[in-house]
Every structure is written in C-alpha cells, then in structure tokens.
Structure 1
Amino acid sequence: MTTNDRSQDNGTTDNGTTDIGTPRTGTTDATPAQERAAEDRTGVTRRALLGTAGAGLLVGAGAGVAGAVALDRTGRPAGAAAAGGALGAARVPFRGEHQAGILEPQQARVQLAAFDLSDGVGRDGLRGLLQRWTKAAERLTAGEPAEEFDDQVALDAGPCSLTLTVGFGAALFDKAGAADRRPPGLEPLPAFPGDALDPARGDGDLFLQIGADDALVAVHALRVLQRLAAGTAALRWQSAGFARTPGAAGKPVTGRNLMGQVDGTNNPKPGEEGFAAKVFCTAGGEQPAWLAGGSYLVFRRIRMLLDHWEALPVDRQERVIGRRKTDGAPLGAPAGSGEHAPVDLSAQGPDGTLAIPADAHVRVAAPAANGGAAMLRRGFSYHDGLLPDGSPDAGLLFLAFQSDPRRGFTPVQRKLSRGDGLSRFLRHEASGVYAVPPAAPAGGYLGQQLLEG
C-alpha cells in the first residue's frame, strides 16, 4: 500500500496508587546510574516523579471494582507548569519490558479507540499497520513529529507524558490467520445482571489507549494513527476521558470521581508480593509464549446515575461506599485516621450495627471477599453532555490490567453486580477485552512476538 492510499481516511471502586515514575527501566527499583540514564532520556528524574505520585481516581462499583489509578505529579518546581516546564517536557520512553501506559502515573487526558481490520488484510496487512504505528508512536512519545500525516497541531507542546498502548481483540486472530495463537483469556465476558451493552461502542480488533497531560497531544496522536490505518483498519468507536491535572491539588492527594468520593486506596502496588503475577502474563501453562510480559485489559464504559446519586444525603452516600466522603477514611475509623486506615469490616456503630453495611462497596469489593482477585485499575472520568431525558451522560471509562480476566475481573464483577449497593447507581454500557502484548522488542514493532514469534 502506498502513502497516498493511506491518506484516504476511513471513516469506583476501592483502589489505589502506584509508585512508578515515568522513566521505565524494566524494574521497580532503579540504581542511581539507571536514574541518571533515565533523566538523560526524559529530562525528568524518576525520583522526582516517584515523590509526586498521588492519587487514585476511580469508581468501581457494580462496575467490577471500577477503578482508576490517577497519580498526581505535583513535586516539580513551583511554577514549572505555568512556564511550560516539567508538565510538558515529561517524557515516557516508548520501549521497555512492558508497554507504556500500564505502570506509569495516570495522565490528565485519555483518548480510547478501537479499530476493525478491513476485509482481506490478513497477517501481512496487520504487520504493516503495526510497524507504521510503532514508528509513529516512538517519535510522538519523544515529542517529535510523525514522519507521515503530522499536521503540526501539537508541534510546540512537548511530549506531555504521552503513552500509546495497543491491545488485540479476539476477532483479530482469525482475521490475521493466527487463530491457533489466540490466548485463552480472551474468551467473551459473561453477561452480568444489569448490563446494557451497546456493541457498537465496545470490542474491536485493535484497541488504543492514548494518554497525555495535554488534550491536544492525545487527540493529535490518535489522528495520526487513524490516518496511518486508513485502508487497513477503520475506526469502530472512540471515547475521551479525563483525570486530575498534575499539580491541580497543590500536594499529593487521592483524586475524586464524579460521585465526589475519594477513590483509589487499595489498588495493588508494584513492589507488593505477587503484584507482577496479578498484572502481567508469564509463558507456560495456558499462556502463549508471545504474551509473556504482556497483560489483559478489560474496558467498560460505566455511566453513573448522577441525578439519583446526588439526591442522596451525604451520610447515605457514605454508607453505600463504606467510606467517609470528606477524607476517604473507612466508616468506623477514628476521626483523623485518613483514607489509608485499615478497613475494619467488623467495626460497629453506636447502635451496634455494622459501621460498614453488608452491601457497602468496600466490603463487597475487598480482595479478601473475592478469593484474592485483584486488578490494576487505571480508569478515567468522562462527561459527554446530556441524554435525551436530561440526565448526564457521564461516568467512568474503566480500564483494568490483569494476568487473566477469568480470575480477576469476571469473579469480582459477578459478585459486585449481585451484591454491591453501588450497582444501583451505575449502568455498564460498553465492554471489551483485549490481549496487550509486551513492549516492542529492540528494533522491532508492537505485536512482533505474535506475528513472527
């Protein structure tokens, strides 16, 4: 396919923060020499970003522990953002052990999109597309213009922590002649009580998560990749989301979701025992070798019934969640204890009843109540105006990375959909499951392990 051919366009939950900075060395703890090398590549030190990791934004509930890791990078020098400093200059290396956009601090903006392969594209066509995307992504994440279809929209913006994460839907494997390499974790999710899924806004052969601290940078990157896909894959759906802008809170603090709840306290954290096994795939058993170092991503578009939620008095809202709204502390915890106080599920109120109700979100979603099932949640809020009935079309773009959805998302969501009081205020309206390959190998392209391994 020629360049000219391609120029024709087709068409909350209870989780927490991660302690991963932007420079990616493939390990959780870098040596001083590695930190200096990372600073040379990015212009922003890993230690500075680690020191500013803040807050998780998320909304889980009936959403399958809907969550979002929203890490606030507030430790840069005062006034740097206003002067076009660290906020725009921050760069996330494209290559590493895992794809960028999983462990890194959550950016302020996200563009999510899915594409369907055109008829007859096959393995060679998919390989060519992934090679083009890889080449463009490596340049864009470095703050450089793409070699093709760059319209200079983001020319003066800097990298702005841009990450581009690619996933493969189940149908892609048949279309690419790789049905025998489809991983078992890509089986369809079961139907959950209360689902109202729109197939046109979910699934897809190729998934893109594009995050950046500047909306223009994220939109520009999506536009470039869409134009590079013309003739090979067509856009199926697209959604835009947002989180707290780094530095907006003035200090590291856990973010709030659109329900006003402090959200993001107990997300699994790198460095914890068993973290990698919960999030990343290893070869062996059912897992194919090409997915080693990769992950699975579950996407859900979850609309919050904000009119109903906001009609509740604050004390009722707190009982639905199981945490105080002011500081995120679990109900029953002493005053001033804060959101990280241990959740005591046996605590009682003055009247002898459970301080945290039986159907409170934190109780139903607790890993201890779900056989230890856990996911790394990295969701974003969205607000797309009003529906015909006048209610807000707003909620959570739920993203959860895990080593196997059958042991992570599915059992947790099954329980939440049946016993979580928060489910009454949520509607799952779109869904998708994707295999996220490891990062592009040195000198290679995203997905090379699948297509050539």
Structure 2
Amino acid sequence: MTDTSKHPTKNGARTTPPPAADAAAGGVSRRRLLGTAWAAGAGGLVVCAAGGAGAYAATRPAAPTPLTRLGAEAVPFHGTHQAGIATPLQAAGHLAAFDLAPGAGRAQAVALLRRWTACAAALTEGRPAPDHDTGVALDAGPCSLTVTFGFGHSFFDRTGLVKQRPVQLDPLPAFSSDHLDPARSNGDLWIQVGADDALVAFHALRALQKAAGATARVRWQMSGFNRSPGATAHPMTMRNLMGQIDGTGNPQQSAPRFDEQVFVPAKPASDGTTPAGPAWMANGSYAVVRRIRMLLDDWEKLSVDAQEKVIGRRKSDGAPLTGGTERTAMNLTKTGPDGKLVIPADAHARIAQPSANGGAAMLRRAFSYQDGIGADGTPDAGLLFVAWQADPLTGFVPVQRKLDRGDALSAFIRHEASGLFAVPGGAAEGEYVGQRLLES
C-alpha cells in the first residue's frame, strides 16, 4: 500500500480541528475533559463548566500537555466516499464479518445500519459511543479513526434484495494457492476499522460489536498492524513481514484515472445502472479481502539476492532491479551479462504490474498480522490483504489469475481466507450507510 500521507484524500482526508473548538460553555464531557486535547487551547485545557469539572481542572498540578498531532487528527465520517478507502494507512486495524441472526431481515438490517452509522460518526469525531461507552479510549483523541462498511453476497438473500445485488459480487474463482477456511471467509456484513492508536481501534470494534446486539453475530474477526506514522524519517511505502516494500504499484491519488480505477462511477446509465453495478453503488468501491499467510521460515532461508529476484525489486528501497528509485518504471527487457532477464520472467512485480494486465489496477491497503507461534516455532503471520477497485472482475480477478499461473512468490505464501464485499458510497449528514440500497 502506498503511503498517501503527502496527498490528503478528497473524502477521507485527515483533519486537525482547531484549538478550543469544543470548549463550549457548560458543555465539556468527561472524556473530552480528560483527554481530548484538540478541544483545548495551546496553553492547556479550556474548561468553562462550573462545579466538579472546573474543580478537577483547578486541582491539577500543571497545565495538561495537549495531545500530539497524531492523536488530534480526525477523518470525516460523512462524505462522497466512505473513509478508510483512500485514507492514508493507519497503524492498527481490525476486519470483521457479521452474519444476520436467524429471522433477521431487511427491517432489522435497517435498524442495525442506523445504529452502526451513529456509532461510527461519534467515534470518528472522538466522542463516546452512544449507549454505555466502555471508556477504553477515554484519554485519546480521534487518532485518524475510520470505520468502513460493506455488504457480502449473502446479505442480499437475507434481506430480499437479490435484484439489487451487483454481478461484481459473484463468488471469486478458485485459485491454486487457495487453502480457504470457510468459517473465516465471506459474511453478510463487513466492517473495516483503522486508527493510529491500537486502543482507539479496539474501542471502535468493541462498540460496533455491542451495537449489533441480537441482530447480527460475528462470523470472523482479524486484527492487523502497520508502522506508526512518524516511525520513519520520512513518509514511505509500508513494509510487509517479509521485509519488502509493499504497494509501490498502487494507483496514485494524483493520477487522472485514480477515481475511475477505485470508485464506481457516480453517473448511472439510462437503465439506472453504473458500469460496475446498480445505481446504489455510485461512489462506492469493491473490497477483496484475503488472509495471506507468509511462509516466513522458507522465505528467510533465501539470500537477499534470491528474495529480490522473487519480487523483482530491491529489498532496501523498493526500486526495480533494473535500477532507479522506487517509482522508476521497470525495464522488462533488460538483460544482464549472463544474457538472462534482470527482472526474472516469474518475478512478482513483473507479473502483477498494470501494464502486464491490460491496465488492471487496484488500491492495496493491507495490514500485517501475527496470530501466534506454533509448537514447532512456525509463526502464523502474514498479510491481511484488502484491495479496493471499481470492479473486481477487471481489477483483482485477472491479476490474481495471472499470478496463479506462474508467480515466484506463490511458493512462499498461502491464501487462507477470502471475502468480497460491496462497499457503498459515503453517507451524507442525516443518512445511514447503505440507505440507498435498503430503501430502494
């Protein structure tokens, strides 16, 4: 996933609220009093409330230190697109799928999406969750929290909306590297949570789980991580657990075709559909989710030179083996003194690049994961792969089919879980996520 912190997104940009924005007279909540520094002036917490809150502030030995910029950043929940797609990658994330409870249908799904929307809107602003907040994130600001919602293939059967199901949600084809666990794949509903603070991310996941009530149960849940912002001397593309820079080939937000590749067009055709689904998917995107286990013991036996040949890029900086920097185009015809291709024919980067796949592109926004170490010392670790595209039939599927036929990396990875979800456009103020589908 390419680091996009230099390029704020159109609808997922992180914003830092101005100091003292929430110091309204008599209206400081306990959570904001204790920790929400973006509601404070530069010299300390501004409290206008009388009584206990004022006494508490007055008895503190020194003016509180405002939160760092990391904690103060907020990503708007409402917008044209859902946040968490083109938003800069966060340090902590959770992916979870839910199944509607037996007997639950469209009416129950509407009520659930209303609750989830209200909960997510509050949390992304740094406010407590509605209905008995746990206080887990009491001392934190928004920390770039995003919550993204999607619908699986089975959701449309459960809610009587089969006619509104996009053909893009047809099950993905089988691939030779698949060793899929059905219990950790698919689902009626899908949530992606991301934040730059692990407690904030967990708090959001827990609040959403509780808000599901008896309407939906968790089918599967996976947690991941990335480097924290500021951990490197300058913003850079993420590294995965193989130590490789991962996401160089992502479409850049500054590119003319970025929206076309990632988001479903907003303008419907004369028959009420878009090129990538029904009209309710306008401004949405499709998420392919894969739990990819990395066979790290085998990988780490390779020399750095051998690892670089598998990928087709230098491990140190992500530049192609043919030279230059990370963003330099690969010279696919260049040969070495031995007459062999410098970038091998089965190198992952060669096979996966858009120019080798008819321009097919997807925005990869992954998290690494580590789920323990086995009795034999083998780590259960790898990548929570999330790929965003306007149409998975022209994005993920053709690229994965080609990788399946001859990617050198396939010997060192195993796809253990999979899901495909339709993620509708963002909710406007006063709307709930998915309203255009559920009320169609």
Q: Is 1:123 equivalent to 2:106 in the alignment? A: yes
Match for residue 297 of structure 2 among 289, 292, 307: 307
SS state at 1:416 partner:
helix
- What residue identity is the alignment partner of 1:312? L
Matches within 5 A, 1:265-414: 265-282=248-265, 283=268, 284-285=274-275, 287-333=277-323, 337-414=324-401
Counterpart of 2:4 (choices 18, 43, 46) is 18
Count of aligned positions: 390
2:182 matched residue in structure 1: 199
Contact 2:12/2:85, CA 8 A, preserved across alignment:
no
- How far residue 350 of structure 1 moved from its aligned partner, in angstroms, is 2.0
The 1-side partners of 2:437 and 2:422 are apart by: 11
State the Cα deviation string for residues 270-292 of structure 1 (Å, max 9, x = none).
23122211111123346201010
Residues 41 and 230 of structure 1: is their aligned pair in 2 closer, same or farther, counting only changes over 3 Å?
Answer: farther
CA distance 1:42–1:133, shift in 2 (3 Å): farther
SS at match of 2:277: coil
Alignment match of 2:161 (pick from 162, 178, 185): 178
CA-to-aligned-CA distance 1:99-142 (integer Å, 9 cap, x gap):
00011101000011010001111111000000000011111000
| Partner-residue secondary structure (3-state), 1:384 | strand
Q: 1:263 aligns with which of 228, 246, 259?
A: 246
Equivalence for 1:442: 429
Q: Which residue is 1:96 aligned to?
A: 79
**Cα deviation, residue 172, structure 1:** 0.5
2:138 corresponds to 1:155: yes
Unmatched 5+ stretches in structure 1: 1-14, 29-34, 45-81
Distance 2:166 2:19 in 1: 34
Q: Shift of the alpha carbon at 1:264?
A: 2.2
CA distance in 2, matches of 1:126, 1:43: 38
Equivalent residue in structure 2 for 1:166, among 138, 149, 152:
149
Aligned-residue Cα RMSD (Å) equals 2.0
**Which 5+ residue runs of structure 2 have no aligned equivalent?**
22-64, 269-273
Distance 1:296 1:202 in 2: 16
Q: Distance in 1 between matches of 2:368 and 2:329?
A: 27
Q: What amino acid maps onto 2:424 in structure 1?
A: P
TM-score w.r.t. length of structure 1: 0.82
After TM superposition, the structure 1 stretch with the greater mean CA deviation from structure 2, 230-239 or 246-255, is 246-255
Q: Which moved more, 1:107-116 or 1:282-291?
A: 282-291
User: Alpha-carbon deviation of 1:25?
Assistant: 4.8
Q: Percent identity?
A: 57
| CA-to-aligned-CA distance 1:271-328 (integer Å, 9 cap, x gap) | 3122211111123346201010001100000000000000011110110011111222
Find the counterpart in structure 2 of residue 78 from structure 1: none
Cα distance, 1:251 vs structure 2 = 1.6
Give the counterpart of 2:69 among 86, 106, 114. Answer: 86
Is contact 2:424-2:433 (8 Å) kept? Answer: yes
Counterpart residue number, 2:38: none
Q: Distance in 2 between matches of 1:406 and 1:287?
A: 11
Given the two structures, how large is their TM-score scaled by the length of structure 2?
0.85
Corresponding letter in the other structure for 2:314: R
Report 1 or 2 for greater relative contact order, CA contacts < 8 Å, sequence distance ≥ 6.
1
Q: Is the 8 A contact 1:109 1:241 kept in 2?
A: yes
Amino acid at match of 2:224: G
Distance 2:201 2:385 in 1: 18
Letter in 2 for 1:400: A
